[in-house]
Amino acid sequence: MIKTKQIQRPQLVMIVDDHEINRDAIGAILEDDYELLFAENGKEALDLMQKHATELSIVLLDLMMPVMSGFEVLAFIQKDELLRTIPVIVLTAEKQAELKALQMGAADFITKPFDMPEVILARVGRIIELSEGRALISAAERDPLTGLYNRNFFFEYANRLYHYHPEYKMDAVVINIERFHTINALNGRSFGDDVLRCIGVEIRLFLAETEGISSRVEADRFEIYCIPQPDYAAVLARLQEAVSRISSKVNIHLRMGVKPWQENIDPVILFDGAQAACNMVRGDYKNPLMIYNEDMHLQELLNQRLLNGLLPAVKEKQLRVFYQPKYDILHDPPRLSSAEALIRWDHPELGMISPGQFVPLFEGNGLIGIVDSFVWEEAARQVASWRDRLGFTLPVSVNLSRSDVFDPTLIDRLVHLIESNNLSYSNIKLEVTESAYTDNAGQVLGVIRQLRELGFEIEMDDFGSGYSSLNMLSDMPFDVLKMDMKFIRSIETNEVDRRLVTLILDIARYLGVRVVAEGVETEGQLNILRDDGCDLVQGYYFSRPLPPEEFEKLILREIEIS
Ligand code: C2E
Ligand code: MG
Ligand code: MG
């Protein structure tokens, strides 16, 4: 008969002592019965305890150590709700120290020198057995990966605090990882687990310094119920810093939503608010923290309305595509070169809504694909129609969202788009935002290379708003660089911006790509750009985005000139 003990993995014991000779001595006594982990000082011991918190059966801790003494370790452990459940036996030669250690939460002590192996084995075995009941309870209420409470127990305890300890006025904090499924898919599950574990450790360290409880309620969603913090940005920053240390190659971004305590709002509702706040900053790497407020509540209602309204909007033709011209300014007079297709939503109650209000919202939940397909179809149909009716083929750029780039059917859909409208690949250009390039560089670059091989021209949109470094730039496949509007806005007045623009133009020349300046509004800006050798200009100076019937007039004028 197989005994339960044989199926179980050997119990994990950590031995902490600054002297190798002591570690070896104890190790030799325990190695046949236990799996062993060693640490040379208190600091290392705490790191390992954090990492293996849910696996450790017991810790044997020397009291006198440089760097961080056993007492300091005990004091720390007492503050951590999870570490506190791991029994500690202290190793000491001083009677005085034994008492103090027991008062500080140690379960037992072993006296040096270690000359009675049977006694030591028996003590370790007994303490593990005694704590097993506790360990079982603790395991049932915790997420095995992070050691934080699981969802049920978390809300059980949060509700108890709420009902029986009204003196605790707790805030709800939600933390999510940006595109965690992609991180998992690209780097493997065990890397994903490392990220989750790291967040768990850092949250516990944070809670050891303040008051609160925490949970990994599901996948990459962490919740903290804690006394109000003076600076949530700092809390997020320390978590972000911890995950950033995991890998220099993978960019991991956290976002945080907070709903402050409110009279008569129970934890479940409070956390709904915090989650909503967290969702508001999805994808916004520059402002990853949102504290719930009244405006947000209104925004939430509006978002809900837009989300529910999208499918009817497509059906009832409320979505419209506007076109904004790009002019080739190296020609005199400037020549109409192409256009960008920009989505507009003509909402029956809300009026004309600009994409800034709904594109990020739909990017967050996959619905943007519906908008984009609509725009691509519409733009392709329009290019063909102008060609057939006016005899003028004007290439049109369409915007690709991040999620489009990761869609495995993207290439087939675009090929079909071109073929079914009887276009050539040079008639439709693709704008990909800079931040999509830097996100998951490998996969994105592969897809973009394939698109270019087919004959699509790729424009890197919003260049300068993301974080691509110069050495990455030379590996990135694109044909046109679209300089972010923020550089243009002040080139007439701000010397630094002006020099940046010159620098970007130099880099583009070096890379052999053309440059579009976006957001050009004045003649002064235009002249500076022309003098610096910028190829193309898009902006209100030439025209705002126009509905197709009005844009047609620009084409007719162009036909007249040439
Ligand atoms: P973008 O692709 O960088 O588009 C340029 C934006 O700059 C447009 O805003 C355009 O109206 C605006 N703009 C052009 N010239 C000027 C100017 O001289 N001054 C100022 N202040 N603004 C100017 P719009 O149409 O509101 O679009 C905003 C963003 O929404 C776009 O930025 C793009 O990222 C996104 N977007 C628009 N249409 C689509 C779409 O069909 N699909 C996707 N995924 N995103 C889209
Ligand atoms: Mg664009
Ligand atoms: Mg742009």
Q: Kindly tell me if the per-residue pLDDT of 389 is higher than 90.
A: yes
Contact, 476 vs 446, CB < 8 A?
A: no
Q: Which of 115-119, 224-228, 461-465 has the highest mean pLDDT?
A: 224-228
DSSP β-bridge partners for residue 88: 59
- H helix intervals, 245-367: 267-280, 294-315, 355-363
Q: pLDDT at position 9, please?
A: 67
Q: Report helix, strand or coil for 536.
A: strand
For the cut 60, the answer to whether the pLDDT of residue 4 exceeds it is no
Q: Determine the residue of 319, 342, 480 to mutate for testing ligand 1's pocket, defined as the one with the most ligand atoms within 8 A of the Cβ atom.
A: 342
Q: Supply the pLDDT for residue 547.
A: 97
371 lines ligand 1 (CB under 6 A): yes
Inform me whether the pLDDT recorded for 506 exceeds 70. yes
**Residue 331 structure tokens:** 């020609």
Distance in Å, CA 501 to ligand 1 centroid: 20
Q: Predicted confidence band at 89 (pLDDT cuts at 50, 70, 90)?
A: very high
Q: Beta 221-226 vs 171-177: how paired, if at all?
A: antiparallel
Range 12-141 classified under CATH 3.40.50.2300 = yes
Indicate whether residue 372 lines ligand 1 (CB < 6 A). yes
The average pLDDT across 154-168 equals 91
* Contact (CB, 8 A) for 327 and 536: yes
Kindly tell me if the per-residue pLDDT of 42 is higher than 90.
Answer: yes
- DSSP symbol at 64: -
* Domain 151-292 belongs in CATH node 3.30.70.270: yes
**Poorest-pLDDT segment among 71-85, 224-238, 366-380, 468-482:** 468-482
Ligand 1, closest atom to CA 461?
3
| Sign of the alpha-carbon dihedral angle for 134, 137, 140, 141 | negative
Average pLDDT score over residue span 160-164: 90
- The answer to which of 18-22, 161-165, 539-543 has the lowest mean pLDDT is 161-165
Ligand 1 atom closest to residue 401's alpha carbon, by position in its atom list = 44
pLDDT of amino acid 133: 74
For residues 238-248, average pLDDT: 95
Cα of 306 from ligand 1 centre, angstroms: 19
Over residues 363-392, the mean pLDDT reads 94
> Per-domain residue ranges for the chain?
12-141, 151-292, 301-561
- The ligand whose atoms approach the alpha carbon of 404 most closely is 1
Q: Which of 194, 195, 213 is nearest to 204 (CA)?
A: 213
User: CA nearest 469: which of 497, 448, 441, 489?
Assistant: 441
Ligand 1 pocket, 397 CB below 6 A? Answer: no
CA distance 430 to 478: 10
- Peptide bond before 113: cis, by omega within 30 degrees of 0? yes
| 419 CA from centroid of ligand 1 (Å) | 27
pLDDT at position 8 is 58
Q: For ligand 1, what atom is nearest to the CA of residue 541?
A: 18
pLDDT at 191 over 70: yes
Kindly give the distance from the C-alpha atom of residue 341 to the centroid of ligand 2, in angstroms, as a whole number. Answer: 8
pLDDT at 406 over 90: no
Q: What is the pLDDT of residues 294-313, one digit of tens each?
A: 888 888 889 889 999 999 99
* pLDDT score for 2: 47
The two three-digit tokens of residue 197, written as one number: 């574990």
Topology given in CATH for the domain delimited by 301-561 = TIM Barrel (3.20.20)
pLDDT at 471 (0 to 100): 66
CB atoms within 10 A of CB 58: 24
* pLDDT value of residue 146: 92
Q: What's the 431 CA to ligand 3 centre distance in angstroms?
A: 8
pLDDT number for residue 470? 67
Residue 3 confidence (pLDDT): 47
Token reading at 318:
């409320």
457-463 and 480-483 strand pairing: parallel
Q: Which ligand has its closest atom nearest to the C-alpha of 538?
A: 1
Q: Is 293 in the pocket of ligand 1 (CB under 6 A)?
A: no
Residue 160 or 364, more confident = 160
pLDDT at 295: 85
Give me ligand 3 centre to Cα 137, in Å.
Answer: 55
pLDDT at 249: 87
CB 96 within 8 A of CB 166: no
| pLDDT given at position 10 | 80
The mean pLDDT of the chain is 91
